[in-house]
Structure 1
Amino acid sequence: MRTSVGIVLVSHSPQLGAGVRELAEQLGGGAVAVAVAAGTEDGSTGTSYELIEAAVREADGGAGVVVLPDLGSAVLTARAVLADLDRPDQAVLVDAPFVEGAVAAVVTASTGAALAEVAQAAREAWQSHKF
């Protein structure tokens, strides 16, 4: 069985992270590891280096990880975590709309696509117009 690319959702809000995870997993058929690093260790709004690092490790089954931040310090903290990884090619930080990018990444990863393809699918979600 082929290992799929994992997805990490980095959000300031535990509720937002959990909700996007639930939606993406439902639409992706539950075949992809989706980890959430949302809020701080005490459940407050914010971001946490430690939670992001743990989520990257949790989601990585060997095919790499796409990291999707919601905004602001989620980007900065995720960059710091990725800079400290043992394998720089292990994870890629992707600029994508949070909900649409997560769904696109999970659905694409569920097909067995490679890390670069999953990251590109998330980026292309910028082109998904609602009307």
Structure 2
Amino acid sequence: MSYVGIVLISHSPKIVEGTKDLIRQVIKEVPIEIAGGTDDGAIGTNVEMVQQAIERANDGEGVSVFYDIGSAKMNAEMAIEMIGEEDVKLMGAPLVEGSYVAAVESGMGKDVQRITAALANEFG
């Protein structure tokens, strides 16, 4: 079975690593990829890392992309535009809570549109 993938983007590698660990306590089968920090491990974001994470997370069902602040959103938008996939959605929900809910929804077999609607309902 294929699932909607999850991408976690943060200026801090520790934030996305911890969030992924939290989700993995409950959801094991959903693809989750992270893009945290810069190439040299510093605080920041990198559009190429984001693009690669999205590509790894997408097993054909689309990807829900979550971010923390500022340039993480900008880099996510650029990466999504470069990839050009309709089923890659940037989510405005909180990074930790939103990605957790999205992973649960994906694990239940919901498509990216239904996950987006569930997040809009939950987080406004």
TM range (shorter): over 0.9
* Distance in 2 separating the partners of 1:22 and 1:35: 11
Q: Deviations along 1:13-50, whole A, 9 cap, x unmatched?
A: 0000000011112122x010000011001111000011
User: How far is 1:122 from its partner?
Assistant: 3.2
Q: Distance in 2 between matches of 1:14 and 1:114?
A: 28
Correspondent of 2:68 among 67, 70, 75:
70
Distance 2:103 2:113 in 1: 13
CA distance in 2, matches of 1:67, 1:119: 10
Which of 45, 52, 55 is the matching residue for 1:54?
52
- RMSD of the alignment, in Å? 1.3
Runs of 5+ unmatched residues, structure 2? none
Contact kept? 2:87, 2:112, Cα under 8 Å: no
Specify the alignment match of 1:6 in structure 2: 5
Cα pair 2:5 2:64 within 8 Å, conserved: yes
| Residue aligning to 2:77 | 79
Aligned counterpart, 1:24: 23
C-alpha distance in structure 1 between counterparts of 2:70 and 2:92, whole Å: 12
For residues 39 and 124 of structure 1, what CA distance do their matches in structure 2 show?
Answer: 30
Runs of 4+ residues deviating >6 angstroms? none
User: Are 1:102 and 1:122, in contact at CA under 8 Å, matched by a contact in 2?
Assistant: no
Listed as ranges, the matches of 1:104-115 within 5 Å are 104-115=101-112
Report the secondary structure of 1:8's partner residue. Answer: strand
Q: State how far apart, in whole Å, the 1-side matches of 2:50 and 2:106 are.
A: 20
Counterpart CA distance in 1 for 2:122 and 2:78 is: 25
In structure 1, list runs of 5 or more residues that go unmatched. none
Kindly, what percent of the aligned residue pairs are identical? 34
**Counterpart of 1:100 in structure 2: which amino acid?**
E
TM-score by length of 2: 0.94
